[in-house]
Structure 1
Amino acid sequence: MSDSASTSKTNSGWLPAKSWQHFVAGGVGGMCGAIVTSPFDVVKTRLQSDLFKHNHASIGSVTSSGAVVAQRSGGLLWHFVETVHFTRDIARDESPRALFKGLGPTLVGVIPASSIKFFAYGNGKQIIANNFNHGQENTYVHLTAAAIAGVLTGTATNPIWVVKTRLQLESHHKPSPGSAQPASTLGGSLAMIKRIAREEGVRGFYKGLSASYLGVTEGTIQWVLYERLKKMTAGTKGKGGVQEWAGMLGSAGAAKCVASLITYPHEVLRTRLRQPLVNGKVKYTGLLQTLRLVIAEEGARSLYGGLTAHLMRVVPNAAVMYSIYEGILRWSDHRDAMRAARP
């Protein structure tokens, strides 16, 4: 919440005044960030899954076009190269539209998820501070509000992320001329919902929820770091232009980067738990079982599969989302101040 926003109570006596602004600003910010970074989300999901690894394990051999691709080195540069190759291969083999697979359910999920997250956190930290810490915000207040917001958001939106993940793990080659075109995003989403309900029942929509709860730690770390960094860049507030926006972008991006590096393995576990049935069988059945199986079959390094694509997506996504969120709140405060100043 912007520093100048009112902390007075609404008529209900519970929620802070203008609490709806967090809901709207979070939804708009989440939508913009998701659209901009959608291709990296598709690449990240496939790199996290074991269903696609065999298709890209031979990078270093001669490709179908005769080009020789560099051998895997395992370093940071390799992960960047792997992400570029994966992006190119998806666009070439499945059409550029494939880089936006799952965008429909992503937006359906991101908008309410961002709205819920920012609404719960922005108002939650005020409620906690006012009722349990004499109206003062501190690290513990931020951490508690972030944890509550993460649990609420994860529970409410898990079915949407299951559908999105399944869509992104589907591989279809380019349609030949005259052949049937791929189903629309909406049609594909509805078909996937029906398939999950038919094959796995209601429980299928809550696969990966345990990993999502584990991922609440990422959100708490991110919010706490963001609040700290925002205080450090507070001197740029009100100056406008590049300096003020750089402070917001840098704070949001840096906080997300650090939080993601610390907690990334839960992303891989969550993707594995949400994978579709293979030959009618469920390979990954629980959080600890998935962790043990992934390490036993692929090694601990596989817990960081798709990390580069993930960072290439979430860091700019967070920068865009949080900046728009803060921008809308500051614009609203400025508008209210201007109205109050009128005779």
Structure 2
Amino acid sequence: MDKKFGSGPFREILRHISYEHLAAGVSGGVVSTLILHPLDLVKIRFQVNEGISVAGVSTPKRPVYRGIGHAFRSIYRSNGFTGLYQGVTPNVWGAGLSWGFYFFFYNTIKVYMQGGDSKTELGPLKHMLAASEAGLLTLILTNPIWVVKTRLCLQYDLPPSKTASQSGTRYNGMVDALIKVYRNEGLRGLYKGFIPGVFGISHGALQFMAYEELKNLYNNHYQRPIDYRLSSLEYLTFAALSKLFAASITYPYQVVRSRQQDQHRTYNGLKDIIAQIYRFEGMRGFYKGSIVYFGHVTPNICIVFLMYEYIVNHKVLNGLFGRIEQKLVDQEKRSRKTSDLIEEPNVIWDS
């Protein structure tokens, strides 16, 4: 039975798994989120703000921001420094797990496609395929966390009665939000925004395709192997360029996703969201919050990729786990010696 389980494609996939990619992605996601969450908070609030008052359309009462600077000042004035980190807990969990799972799945799939040879070039289409598969698996696992993050970020500083009348509930942290969303809306509530998220997989696919191709072209230009270790500045440059390339093409899906997850507003499906944005706000509506977003994603992706490449290339985790493994081996040796000393008199006595 063990032989069957450990053979075929499943065994091949297991052979290419490297958990350092998971840990490296989690580390980068957590650190970047802790530093840049205030920008993410403001971005979401701009994305859902219709800025209109139309007969027959019920729009919730929201804070009015005259610009990015005014948004930061207003939030800080109302809630202090902690207000700028509203929703940070699910964001840290979501970003950490998303980057961790994404890098883990992506590199497992990529190495499997390469047949274990890191010097094998895959080309743009295979890079996009690997990134798309990794993105879908990651989205399935993390979508509930993103729903909760959006709702906590959109829990405005209003009296409880007003907030309750608009959203029907008030959330007291990440776990409370997960429980209440599931209790009130079921599993569908936890997967709101999933369909726009599926379209958003193209974002990650384009980003990783561009990142890999830029590195390959750069190394080929200097006649170096494609797995050549670059400098930190080179990694940062390619990470930023690939992110800006993908974001400029796919940003509208994020606006649609945020609006579907907004607890203060009800739409009749994705078509209704898209139609209302276009009808009342025009094409500009699909790019609301984009200035804050680009100011957020550029340093964010640089931090994530810098930490990721450093941890993977310098084998940081190999050293850590190597020390742990050595301690376990030493402990096992000591246990065997102790066991031999205890058993030896019994052997003599039995004889």
Fold conserved (TM > 0.5)?
A: yes
Unmatched tracts of structure 1, length 5 or more: 1-8, 60-81, 175-185
**The structure with more helix, counted as a fraction of residues:** 2
Match of 1:95, SS state, is helix
Runs of 4 or more, structure 1, over 4 Å off, are 51-54, 232-240, 333-336
1:246 is aligned to 2:245? no
Deviation at 1:195?
A: 2.6
Match of 1:316 among 278, 299, 304: 299
Match of 2:134, SS state, is helix
Corresponding residue number in structure 1 for 2:138: 153
Deviation at 1:272?
A: 0.4
**How big is each residue's C-alpha offset from its partner over 1:134-177, in whole Å with a ceiling of 9 and x where there is no partner?**
95421121010000011111111000000000000011269xxx
Match of 2:315, SS state, is helix
Match of 1:101, SS state, is coil
Match of 2:191 among 183, 206, 209: 206
* One-letter amino acid of the structure 1 residue matched with residue 101 of structure 2: I
**How big is each residue's C-alpha offset from its partner over 1:70-89, in whole Å with a ceiling of 9 and x where there is no partner?**
xxxxxxxxxxxx22221221
Unmatched tracts of structure 2, length 5 or more: 1-7, 53-61, 160-170, 323-351
| Distance across 2 between alignment mates of 1:286 and 1:10 | 39
TM-score, normalization by structure 1: 0.76
Corresponding residue number in structure 2 for 1:191: 176
Match of 1:90, SS state, is helix
| Distance across 1 between alignment mates of 2:246 and 2:74 | 29
Superposition map of 1:11-22 within 5 A: 12-17=11-16, 19-22=18-21
Structure-2 change in CA distance of 1:213 and 1:326 (3 Å): same
Corresponding residue number in structure 2 for 1:105: 90
Question: Which structure is larger by alpha-carbon Rg, 1 or 2?
Answer: 2
Deviation at 1:232?
A: 4.4
Deviation at 1:126?
A: 1.7
TM-score, normalization by structure 2: 0.74
Superposition map of 1:48-197 within 5 A: 48-50=47-49, 55-56=63-64, 59=66, 82-130=67-115, 135-172=120-157, 187-197=172-182
Corresponding residue number in structure 2 for 1:305: 288
**How big is each residue's C-alpha offset from its partner over 1:112-139, in whole Å with a ceiling of 9 and x where there is no partner?**
21111001111111212339xx954211
Deviates more, 1:189-198 or 1:251-260: 189-198
Aligned-residue identity in percent: 30
Indicate the RMSD between aligned Cα atoms, in angstroms. Answer: 3.2
Corresponding residue number in structure 1 for 2:41: 42
* One-letter amino acid of the structure 1 residue matched with residue 239 of structure 2: A
CA contact (8 A) 1:40 1:310 kept: yes
Match of 1:14, SS state, is helix
Match of 1:272 among 259, 262, 266: 259
